[in-house]
Amino acid sequence: MTLAILPVHFNRISISIAGTEHIIPDYKISPTEMGAVYTTYLVVYTLFMMPGGWFIDRFGPKKALLLLGFGSAIFVPATALAGYVGVAWMLGLLFVVRGALGLVSAPIHPAAARAASFWLPYSGRGKANGLITGAALLGIAATPYGFGLLSDKITWPNAFLVAGALTLILTIVWSILASDHPWQHRWVNAAEAALITAEDPAPQTEDPVAQDEQESPSPNSPIGPITWIQRNLSMLTLTLSYACYSYFQYLFFYWMGYYFDTELKLGTSTGRAYTTLTLLAMAVGMVTGGVLLDALQSRKRCWFSRAITPMFGMVASGFFVLLGTSTSNPVAVVTWFALSMGALGMCEAPFWVTAVELGRKKGGASGAFLNTIGNLGGILAPIVTPLFSSYFGWKAGLLLAAGIVAVGAVFWVWVNPPVEPEPV
């Protein structure tokens, strides 16, 4: 699974490296225009999230992730075409290509979380989701140096061609090794498959879709997954919290390198190093948060054991950003920002484990709903941040994000996750 996740996020963030270091300065495109390109990906990605969730529940996470991998192998190299057309055509082409990449990328996190629920027993799903999201951050962390140095050597359009080729190779390898369920994998025996489902009171059959369709709904059952989610206060407040989380996260993903390089005047090389350090800190935080979630729930399954990690992480991340904006010392800034991203990363696993559990057998749809609403917050960050900062300064833009993420922690008060394992 981590093999499939890592290149997706490398390809997703590479456009911001190309934008900061080449497209904005070389082609005289404004940060706001480039932010609109970043937002185009996020808008399409968000619009197709719920259809992607339906696809996952109907056809399985493996097919969804294969669509993502092979689609990326087409649209990532297509980004290179922007470097060979005139400036008048560049923005239009980037909007089209990055929008298409957002479409095929839509199922990524719901599919990964759903696959983890199939492959891991209840007691290990926090750690699994932490490792999956941590792999995503490793892909992002590799982008400043990996894509940056590659574009220095062979130009940024050719760097996209190489990234697309590597994505194709990894997708082929993963397609050979992966399966939707343990009992479908040639390397998993019956005892191992039984162990994975032993903690669930109603383990799934070999055809969960067929089983789900054959079940008779109760009189109070909603008609479909979207209706069920809309009526569920826990799911709504969880997704509102994730929207606040995503705003803060995407601000750092898309504009951190620009802030280090341009606003703090640290230069490209130092900016790459500092950006990489903060992203690696978030990856460590994601794994730590997953391990902590499993440890807390092994003692007692209750609201506190599920909510304390994301609530603490979101408040701490905003607080550390406040400290980072209060100093002009570059080492102190990157230290506080790294601590902020590490604390934020601790929140990721609880969001995904909770979303899939609340969705039960519609875990793909509930995960997609989480990511849809979450990305509504994320969509705002790439374009609102430079606009807001153009009037009030970049420090004010960061302080706004710190306030938003603190509000996200409050929404967890109304999240009521299952205290016993649920069939997924």
Q: CA–CA separation, 379 vs 203, rounded Å?
A: 37
∠ CA 313-319-323 to the nearest 5 degrees? 140
Burial profile 158-193: b = 16 or more Cβ within 10 angstroms, e = fewer:
ebbbbbbeebbebbeebeeebbbbbbeeeebeeeeb
Decide if pLDDT at 212 tops 50.
no
Measured on CA atoms in the order 268, 269, 273, 274, is the torsion positive or negative? negative
Q: CA–CA separation, 344 vs 420, rounded Å?
A: 26
SS3 category, 185: coil
pTM summary value: 0.73
Q: Based on DSSP, count helices (H) and strands (E) in the chain, helices before strands.
A: 19, 0
The residue whose two tokens read 């100093």 is 327
Domains identified in the chain and CATH numbers: 2-180+225-414 (1.20.1250.20)
pLDDT of residue 274: 83
Q: With left for phi above 0 and alpha for psi between -120 and 50, is residue 265 left, alpha or beta?
A: left
∠ CA 186-113-175 to the nearest 5 degrees? 40
**Tens of pLDDT along 27-80?**
888 888 888 888 888 889 888 988 988 899 889 989 998 999 999 999 999 999
Question: In sequence order, what are the residues at sequence separation of 6 or more whose Cβ sits closer than 8 angstroms to the Cβ of residue 140?
Answer: 9, 10, 12, 13, 253, 279
**Tens of pLDDT along 169-206?**
988 988 888 888 888 887 877 777 777 666 554 444 44
Of the pLDDT bands very low, low, confident and very high (cuts 50, 70, 90), residue 318 is: very high
